[in-house]
Amino acid sequence: MHALDIDTFPLSGLRLIEASAGTGKTFTIAALYLRLLLDAEPALGRDLDLRDILVVTFTEAATEELRERIRRRLRGAADAFAAGEAPGDDPVLQGLLARRDDHADCARRLSEMLTRMDEAPIHTIHGFCHRTLRENAFESGSLFRAEFIADEHHLRRALAEDFWRRRFYGCSEAYARWVRSEWATPEALLAAVKGYLDRHRLRVIPEPDDDALAALEQRFEATATRAAGLWREAGDEAVARLHEAAASKVLSASASAYRADRLAALRPLWATWFDAPHLPLPAGFELLTPQTQAGHVLKAAARRGTEPPAHPLFDACGELAALAAELAGARRIQVLHDALDCLREGLRERKRAEQVLSFDDLLTTLADALRGPHGSALADAVARRHPVALIDEFQDTDPEQYTIFQRIYAGREGCGLFMIGDPKQAIYSFRGADIFTYLRARRGTPADGGRFTLATNWRSTDSLVRGIDALFRRNPRRFIFDQGIDLPAVTAAGRADERPLTIDGATPTGLRVWFHERGEKERTIAKGRARERLAGACAARIAGMLASADAGRARLGDEPLRARDIAVLVRSHSEAEAVKSALDARGVASVHHSRESVFATEEARELGHILHAVAEPEDEGLLRAAVCTRLIGLSAADFHEALRLGPPWEARLERFAGYRERWDRRGVLPMLHTLMHEEGMIRRVFALPDGERRMTNLLHLGELLQEAATEHYGVTALLRWFQEQLDDPGAAGEAAELRLESDAELVKIVTIHKSKGLQYPVVLLPFIALGRAPDDAAAPLFHPGDDELVLDLGSAELDAHRAQAYREAMAEELRLLYVALTRASHRCELAWGRYNDGEHAGLAYLLFPPPDPDGAPPVAELPDDDAALRAPWEALEAEHGGIVTVTALDDGGGDAGTPAAVGPPGRGQALALDGHVRQGWRLSSYSGLLTSHAGQLIEQPDHDAGDEAEPAAADTPGEGIHAFPRGARAGTFFHRVLELADFTDPDDLAGHVARLLPAYGFDRDWAATVTGHLSGVLATPLDDSGVTLSALDRGQRLDELAFFFPVRDVGAAELDEALPEVGDGRRPALTFGRLQGMLKGYIDLVFEHDGRYFVVDYKSNHLGGSAAAYTPARLARAVAASRYDLQYALYALAVHRFLRSRLPDYDYDRHFGGVRYLFLRGMTPAQGPATGVYRERPPRALIERLDALFSGDTEAA
């Protein structure tokens, strides 16, 4: 490639200009535009007017920026020609003045054209296509009066529903079951294909084979019939062999394998399925197959040569499982193929019938026209009107865009097509951008004289330019597809170095790496924990830099470093929120730039409630939902008072009826403005956390509603449109992207995609080394060649195609890394460490290149020790010097301290509090009383912190429920199941278990074991009366009962002395100091039986590997060790006070039945209350003493 010299750049033909980050791409476009106006005649045989030069870019904002930059360039040139001299730092103007003798004429021409800048065809690609189709309707064959629509989601949804009805309503019940297991609704099916509807050159493989599918259906039916017969003949015998193999230590009896209770729970499911075989297969069916059995043979049995049990049923089930997978895949291929074809064709027909065009249609219609019979005439017309085209951001092109410009300009004399972009910054494949199309275009330009590069970086310091260059040159295959994506050498112009970043008078290196060391026993750092710590370290670092700036130690040139000079780049909204929260905690104000949709915000959801209430003001249910939103903010007390008094509520009903009338008469936006004023929303929203952000979202939503009202007439239609946007926020497009709520001096939090084209003095990349493992369940989308895109739904080459798709994803990950690193002008700081899935990060690929990226997915091979992980960075510094500094990850910010003022300037100061706040008053809980501090501000239901008791026994291996994972998550899961389940309905319990297992991170294979055991828990007598939970209906129980009562100056010693000893009397002493304030808690269950009320608390503690570990003596020791005696005493007191206030004839001895602490793992119906059930009825004297103690009645206490 040739280094571009604007003075000598050829102004005709096909030319490709690759502009690395910071090398002045927009400056170059403006300079070439000026040359085309003044210098075109020798190359093109004619002078050009600004109407002759087409400039195309990809966003409306970019078109306005380019128009302004060109305008300024022409203004400067007109002034220079009028004065007869150019500025000394402008070689382009100097060259033009030297070549032209007619300075006065040039000045006149440029000045005249400046008055017509609005005529300059500077368009987005869609704007260019729209104008071309409109002006060439005959040649293009486009509709004369087509209406343009920005959103076609409603058309797609209607077509998906049509397809669903036609395809599935007449199918068999068995086939319908399979469909529902794959796509529960038409919307789910549409979601599965919508990402491919705009890929017009997409080829889907393999092609459906109806004959093969019919044969598969027959084979499956025949094999299923044979297996069902074997089940009826010998199913019991086959299952018995599995039990025997597990009992004799041949097969694993683990939770996910052949444990006895799991087999017992699965057997009726299998029996039901074999009565009417169909897809999908029933739960646990794989246990009946020889393949699964072979995989669960225990090692000791394998060493002995013991084979898994054999049975004809197992062989048939193995054959059936393989056929089921093959059949489901073939059906899926057929349905998705048909859905894609139907929706594509249906969209074309529907839009033509309704005479509408979408954004995507503009491109495809013009490209098809250029390929059609009148294509030559159309291309001639466009080329005559615009003999030269400059295409900005060409790396983000796609096949249709390239087709358009290639057919207009390729091989045409007297014309020029200049494609300007940087393939290293091609990061928009999710929008359809295609780097392979760029590479094809690159090969289509002459290698000698057709390809140019910009060789000077005007943005960054020398240290940063050299550091980024050295980092990428570590890997010879730095961008994976290296045939066509170069890393041209660039040199720093020195502008950034003239205004250096200095800390304590010294200029730091351009790159700084925060090395995140692993814990002593960590092989990799979990991503969740890493994200939290990295966000905190990032916030600490920023606070430290700004504190140093306040002290005069951190400067940018002659000025202090400011918050607006710092940007944090992230990948996702969740990462941005983590950083923003960490910055808020340190008092550092920030603003989030994002491509997230405003329809995905809380304000959008709440506005939806308000709009529905306005639309139907007579519906009090809708109004109640609206006034309880944060936007209107009616408190529970105010809400209750308004309903109780009547007139205030009636006045609100009348106001909402008035809003509806205003909506009908004046439109949605005037109505919203009135509502916001009369309901006090503006003041209330600004008082909320992130109030400015929320108000920006609210005003943005109002504008979008007003705009949509021009297409969706009437209140009902507009509400339907708004709900569609809420259901699918991503479909709303660029217009719905979150707007910047403030441009004040704030730290910027920006997604990497949004940051493209921007620059900041200091950039932090806290999460750049967190990789993402590929989704092996997703169908791979890949390019077998430059001009083809393939979706593989399950071909024979699926694995190879997954590897190719991964290579393409990693290549884009590397380009995203390049964009992120090159946003900084002075310093870029990033974190590095051995994170879980870190081998999938682009940074890992650069630092530790895989040996053979062509033969396998290019996954980095990361070392296990931290010294080796640091080595590449140290080698870069040793080899190049002055480019990178490696420091330990510092949560304290290094320069420490909180900046004196980092919020927006000009804000008022909060008033000083001159009142008195009692320091001793606090809100506490049972948990708080145990931890010797003020307690949790928000007490959550007690769901077992872990396995506190009997540590020696906790490691005893067990089976069944005793092998279920332990810890707080398990406790929360059990509590949630028992809270939601109907104790009288076994199917309801099973449904909640199946749904909640994956929700809490547990394998679905536990379903049978957990359901079976909890069914036993519900059937276990809780005392000698025989009462069981399974006998309780919803009317007899209160779940998660919250209590809240005052405490008047109670000390730990007093409370400890009041509580009787439990078990052997060994229990830790309470040490919480004195408590005055409020005590809050949650009781798992309070139930009524025979007129008496019982307190139940569920415990998931693991005390041993069988029910024998849960005897009364063992339970008493566990209760004492964990101070559950305090907990149940507080719960009993809370229920005592509750019943006393509700029952007119309440008597503790008659009405309170006692407490039952249910250690779930140890409960069995056979043992009854003898194992797993801790029973206690605190004496009446104790409850009355505690009642007096907490009430401050020291004499009674």
d(CA 415, CA 524): 58
Contact 836, 524 (CB under 8 A): yes
Q: What is the mean pLDDT of residues 162-190?
A: 93
Question: What kind of architecture, by CATH, is found in domain 491-595+744-888?
Answer: 3-Layer(aba) Sandwich (3.40)
Q: What is the pLDDT of residues 1149-1159, one digit of tens each?
A: 999 999 999 99
**Coil, strand or helix: which one is 515?**
strand
Model confidence band, residue 739 (pLDDT cutoffs 50, 70, 90): confident
Q: Is the peptide bond before 87 cis (omega within 30 degrees of 0)?
A: no
Helix (H) or strand (E) holding 972: helix 968-980
Q: What is the mean pLDDT of residues 50-58?
A: 94
Q: What does CATH list as the number for 601-689+700-735?
A: 1.10.486.10
Q: What is the pLDDT of residues 770-814, one digit of tens each?
A: 999 988 888 999 998 767 899 999 999 999 999 999 999 999 999
Q: What is the pLDDT of residues 1012-1052, one digit of tens each?
A: 999 999 999 999 999 999 999 988 999 988 888 888 888 88
d(CA 1077, CA 402): 71
pLDDT for 357 equals: 83
How many other CB atoms are found less than 10 A from the CB of residue 499? 15
pLDDT for 907 equals: 46
CA 1171 to chain CA centroid, nearest Å: 45
Nearest Cα to Cα of residue 1118 among 1133, 1101, 1106 = 1101
How many other CB atoms are found less than 10 A from the CB of residue 901? 13
**Above 80 in pLDDT, residue 831?**
yes
Nearest Cα to Cα of residue 288 among 361, 234, 339 = 234
Q: What is the pLDDT of residues 541-599, one digit of tens each?
A: 999 999 999 999 999 999 999 999 999 999 998 899 899 999 989 989 888 876 678 88
Catalytic: which of 434, 1097, 1147, 1149?
A: 1097
Q: What is the mean pLDDT of residues 11-34?
A: 95
Q: What is the pLDDT of residues 36-53, one digit of tens each?
A: 999 998 888 899 999 999
Inter-axis angle of helices 60-83 and 25-39, nearest 10? 50
d(CA 624, CA 620): 6
d(CA 677, CA 647): 21
Q: What is the mean pLDDT of residues 660-680?
A: 90
Task: Output the CA–CA distances (angstroms, integers) from residue 163 to 156, 169, 824, in the order listed.
Answer: 10, 10, 50
C-alpha torsion 82→87→92→96, nearest 10: 30
Contact 23, 458 (CB under 8 A): yes
pLDDT for 646 equals: 63
**Above 90 in pLDDT, residue 618?**
no
Query: Is CATH 1.10.3170.10 correct for 147-354?
Result: yes
pLDDT for 893 equals: 46
pLDDT for 688 equals: 82
Q: Is 1097 a catalytic residue?
A: yes
pLDDT for 906 equals: 43
* Residue with token string 């048909």: 338
d(CA 352, CA 146): 9
pLDDT for 269 equals: 92
Q: Is the peptide bond before 206 cis (omega within 30 degrees of 0)?
A: yes
Q: What is the pLDDT of residues 459-501, one digit of tens each?
A: 999 999 999 999 999 998 899 987 778 899 999 999 999 999 9
Q: What does CATH list as the number for 2-146+359-454?
A: 3.40.50.300
pLDDT for 1057 equals: 87
pLDDT for 944 equals: 54
pLDDT for 786 equals: 67
Contact 267, 239 (CB under 8 A): yes
Question: 114 Cβ partners below 8 Å, 6+ apart?
Answer: 71, 74, 75, 78
Q: What is the mean pLDDT of residues 1148-1174?
A: 95
d(CA 475, CA 969): 43
**Above 70 in pLDDT, residue 732?**
no
Model confidence band, residue 951 (pLDDT cutoffs 50, 70, 90): very low
Work out whether the CA dihedral 220, 226, 232, 234 comes out positive or negative: negative
Q: Which of 156-165, 847-856, 858-867, 906-915 has the lowest mean pLDDT?
A: 906-915
Query: Is CATH 3.10.310.30 correct for 941-1066+1073-1191?
Result: no
Model confidence band, residue 621 (pLDDT cutoffs 50, 70, 90): confident
Contact 219, 323 (CB under 8 A): yes
Helix (H) or strand (E) holding 984: none
d(CA 22, CA 6): 17
d(CA 169, CA 821): 54
DSSP 8-state code for residue 797:
T
Contact 839, 862 (CB under 8 A): yes
Q: What is the pLDDT of residues 971-1024, one digit of tens each?
A: 888 998 999 999 999 889 999 999 888 767 788 899 999 999 999 999 999 999
**Above 50 in pLDDT, residue 934?**
no
Q: What is the pLDDT of residues 351-404, one digit of tens each?
A: 888 888 888 888 988 999 999 999 999 999 999 999 999 999 999 888 899 999
Model confidence band, residue 1062 (pLDDT cutoffs 50, 70, 90): confident
* Residue with token string 């904002």: 61
pLDDT for 321 equals: 96
Residues of the chain within CATH 3.90.320.10 domain(s) are: 941-1066+1073-1191
Residues of the chain within CATH 1.10.3170.10 domain(s) are: 147-354
Nearest Cα to Cα of residue 648 among 657, 639, 661, 637 = 639
Q: What is the pLDDT of residues 297-312, one digit of tens each?
A: 999 888 888 999 999 9
Contact 636, 678 (CB under 8 A): no
Q: What is the pLDDT of residues 85-98, one digit of tens each?
A: 988 888 899 999 99
Q: Is 132 exposed, middle or buried (0-12, 13-18, 19+ CB in 10 A)?
A: buried
pLDDT for 617 equals: 83
DSSP per-residue letters across 284-316: TGGGGSHHHHHHTB-HHHHHHTPPPP--HHHHH
d(CA 1190, CA 1197): 9
Question: 119 Cβ partners below 8 Å, 6+ apart?
Answer: 50, 51
Q: What is the pLDDT of residues 451-469, one digit of tens each?
A: 999 999 999 999 999 999 9
* Residue with token string 């959103």: 151
Q: Is this model's pTM higher than 0.85 or not? A: no
Contact 747, 590 (CB under 8 A): yes
Question: 894 Cβ partners below 8 Å, 6+ apart?
Answer: 540, 541, 544, 887
Q: What is the pLDDT of residues 888-925, one digit of tens each?
A: 998 764 443 445 444 444 444 555 656 655 556 666 77
Q: What is the pLDDT of residues 685-726, one digit of tens each?
A: 888 877 888 888 999 999 999 988 888 888 888 998 898 888
Ramachandran region, residue 1101 (left: φ > 0; alpha: ψ -120 to 50; beta: rest):
beta
β-strand 788-792 against 781-785: which pairing, if any?
antiparallel
**Above 50 in pLDDT, residue 946?**
no
DSSP 8-state code for residue 886:
E
Residues of the chain within CATH 1.10.486.10 domain(s) are: 601-689+700-735
User: Mean pLDDT in the chain?
Assistant: 88
Q: What is the pLDDT of residues 398-446, one digit of tens each?
A: 889 999 999 999 989 999 999 999 999 999 888 778 888 899 899 889 8
pLDDT for 761 equals: 97
d(CA 136, CA 379): 10
